[in-house]
Structure 1
Amino acid sequence: MRKPLVAALFALVIAGAGVAPAVAAPVTTDGATTKSTAAPAIQAVNFAGTVSLSNCSGSVIRFPNSEDDDPALVLSNGHCLETGFPAPGEVIVDQASSRSFGLLNSAGTRVATLRASKVAYSTMTDTDITIYQLTRTYAQIKSSYGINALTLQDTHPVAGTAITVVSGYWKRTYACNIDGFVYRLKEGDWTWKDSVRYTSACQTIGGTSGSPVIDNATGKVVAVNNTGNENGERCTENNPCEVDANGNVTVREGINYAEETYQIVPCFGLDNKLDLSRTGCTLPKP
């Protein structure tokens, strides 16, 4: 997974190597943008609604049926959870949290600090997500700061889609396309299902973990950025490998990945309450 920054710095000290943000300023994607001719200009995607965490990125998200008076939610990675990586098979629900998030406007300027009331859901099994419930509603955030939440797309993403990965931590964007989907993505002890593989233009780095992956054409979130193969190792931490339905393993050094988010939508009902027994909900259960 794209290490949180603290882990990346630690790894650099003990190994003499690590992810880019530990040693250099983040790179941009100038000159490397790949998009379909039908997609709107990349600059249509901005930072409004994204957040910075202490060591990762994230976004304020809502579902197609969320109401303005519902408590707002923040989406990041499971491996960005402040209490440490969830173990394989572990699912955390309704865990107390007071974590803070820096809310960004369209220009990437921090305009507010939002605070969690709890971890609604977190896991690194089958997917890599943490969803925080905030102490404020969507309406309160909109009224105070003029910022809307990002909406999760409720259907499976499509290969070839022009996307932008928006990092609230680095205040950087990465533009590319969805190259395809991975039957199983294995990294260390964790395995994720039906992951998104980017084309090579999205050279995401440490600290971009948890960034929303936005469909340029719709402005909706289709995935959450989470990992990449850094130096060609096979199925080790920070070097995920692709495993097909027949068990064949492929290593793609320098290629980065995300986890789909459409499957989150059926698991939240009235008042943005998590209900893992709802029809259509396939997220792992505790």
Structure 2
Amino acid sequence: MPRRPAAAVLAAVAAAGALTAGTAQAAPAPHRGTAAVDFTGIVALGNCSGSLVRGPRSRDTDAALVLTNGHCLESGMPEPGEVIVDRPSSRTFRLLDRTGRGDLGTLRATRVEYATMTGTDVTVYRLNSSYAAIRRRYGVPALPLSAAGPRAGTEIRVVSGYWRRIYGCEIDAVVYRLREAGWTWRDSLRYTPQCETVHGTSGSPIIDARTRRVVGVNNTGNDDGERCTLNNPCEVDRQGRITVRHGIHYGQQTYLLARCLGAGNDVVLGRTCALPRP
């Protein structure tokens, strides 16, 4: 989950021959009539990946949002039970072109709209530009957030702006609880083994290959086969039984976030919003 030092990650992945834009492995062909997922709307952070996203009620004139992981927050990982809202931020993001080989420009945040690692692993940044302004300047639309969760068997793409790679696989299962060190996440998405995501892919959007909607955010994997430790999440079922799956990777669903975005792209907590509150 947390990032390894950049040099260590770079050396490890470069040794594996992974530093190229494009698919990380042979991915299933998209359904006929469906455009292939590319790097449209993808951003790179200094240590993570992310995406330009919009909710079902977002308007073109709204300040745009960038989605990444809670553990990618520039101030450090939120503690278990901690929820951060409306914190000033001037973080910058590199907006990639559709091929992933070039940068179109730099986007800048004005604040952290919402961040937590409790129940999910998400940070949402509010930008100083609207969706309309970004599209006008760069020709890039935001990725739509799905308001419904995906099912097992859904074909997905995990698109990393940091490594400029696309991973193709399916959702293997929805995990009741995923535990890592002191954090617990609900209804996590387990990938089939083809998505061998690495450190630096944290915060990558999980995109439904058919609808091209964001259904989740990539966040962790079991590196060493350990049980419920940092970088070694374990699955916990409804009876409390623990399962360790060495080498398997996971993401967190984002439909709750989509449902919580209200007027002006604010995350409106409480009432019908099931995201954790401060």
Same fold, TM-score > 0.5, yes or no: yes
SS in 2 for 1:23: helix
> What are the residue-to-residue correspondences of 1:7-86 with 2, within 5 Å?
20-25=9-14, 27=18, 29-31=24-26, 33-34=27-28, 39-40=31-32, 44-86=36-78
Shift of 1:273: 1.3
Contact 2:39–2:99 under 8 Å retained in 1: yes
On the 8 A contact 1:5/1:22 being kept in 2, the answer is no
Q: Equivalents in 2 of 1:217, 1:40: separation in Å?
A: 9
Aligned with 2:13: secondary structure? coil
> In structure 2, what is the equivalent of residue 15 of structure 1?
none
The residue number in structure 1 matching 2:147 is: 154
Aligned equivalents of 1:56, 1:42: Cα separation in 2: 28
Cα contact 1:232–1:251 (8 A) shared by 2: yes
Aligned residue number for residue 274 of structure 2: 282
1:141 aligns with 2:134: yes
Task: Verify the 8 A CA contact 1:34 1:201 in the aligned structure 2.
Answer: no
- Identical aligned residues as a percent: 55
Give deviations 1:203-236, integer Å, cap 9, x for gaps. 0001000000000000000000000001100000
**SS, match of residue 137 in structure 2:** helix
Q: Distance in 2 between matches of 1:203 and 1:262?
A: 24
* Aligned mates of 1:23, 1:94 — CA distance in 2: 37
2:225 and 2:206 mapped to 1: Cα distance? 24
Q: CA RMSD in A?
A: 1.7
**Cα distance in structure 1, aligned partners of 2:33 and 2:96:** 21
Cα distance, 1:43 vs structure 2: 6.9
* Mapped contact 1:21–1:205 kept (Cα < 8 A): no
CA contact (8 A) 1:39 1:162 kept: no
Shift of 1:266: 2.0
Query: Which of 89, 92, 107 is the matching residue for 1:114?
Result: 107
Instruction: Show the counterpart of 2:208.
Output: 215
Unaligned residue ranges in structure 2 (runs of 5+): none
Amino acid at match of 1:272: N
How big is the shift at 1:64?
1.5
| CA positional deviation for 1:248 | 0.3
Q: Which runs of 5+ in 1 are unaligned?
A: 13-19
Superposed CA deviations along residues 76-130 of structure 1, whole A, max 9, x for unmatched, are 0000000000000000000000000000121112101000000000000000000
Partner of 2:85: 93
SS of structure 2 residue aligned to 1:107:
coil
Residue 91 to residue 22, structure 1, CA distance change in 2 (3 Å): farther
SS of 1:127's partner is coil
CA contact (8 A) 1:166 1:212 kept: yes
| TM-score (normalizing by structure 1) | 0.91
1:30, CA displacement in angstroms?
Answer: 2.6
Kept in 2, the 8 Å contact 1:4–1:55? The answer is: yes
Q: Distance in 2 between matches of 1:40 and 1:67?
A: 30
**133-142 or 103-112, which deviates more:** 103-112
Within 2, Cα distance between the matches of 1:225 and 1:273? 23
State how far apart, in whole Å, the 1-side matches of 2:51 and 2:150 are. 18
TM-score (norm 2): 0.93
- Is residue 223 of structure 2 the alignment partner of residue 234 of structure 1? no
Amino acid corresponding to residue 96 of structure 1 in structure 2? P
The one-letter code matched in structure 2 to 1:45 is: V
Q: Please state how far the C-alpha of 1:278 moved relative to its aligned partner.
A: 4.0
